[in-house]
Amino acid sequence: GATLLEAPPPPPAPPGPRRSGRDDGRTLVRAYDPADGALVRTYAGPSGAVRSMSVSPDGRHLVAAKAGDPGRTDAWVVAWEIATGRLVAADSFGQRTIEAVAFHPDGKRLAIADNGLVRIVELNAALFGQ
């Protein structure tokens, strides 16, 4: 059946300096069963606010764009296998502000909107099993 996705709000930042682009394994996205609201799976990745999510055309992968915090943390695009929650890719985009991410209909490319530009990137076939 269908699954509802949500990106939980990021936890409050601890006081003091933080390392840029830190992957601390925190939950980035949660998936719920819409029938009973039960948590189905969590998807871990670099912590922070999720700006956009997209599911691949074949329904096998989920990507999320994590917003950067200029001067503090990097922006990330993170991808998982939906069925297992396995992290398959995580790319840092430095001190950018990623606004949106979307799969191309062929499932082999990803559109990433940041800083007023849309970039089309080829997906790594080995990571995505294509």
Cα–Cα distance measured from residue 3 to residue 36, given in angstroms and rounded to the nearest whole number: 11
What pLDDT does residue 55 have? 92
Give me the average pLDDT of each 10-residue run along the chain (130 residues): 52 35 56 85 80 91 82 81 89 80 91 86 64
What pLDDT does residue 17 have? 30
**CA torsion sign, 42 to 46 to 50 to 56?**
negative
Write down how long the chain is.
130
Terminal-residue alpha carbon distance, the chain: 24
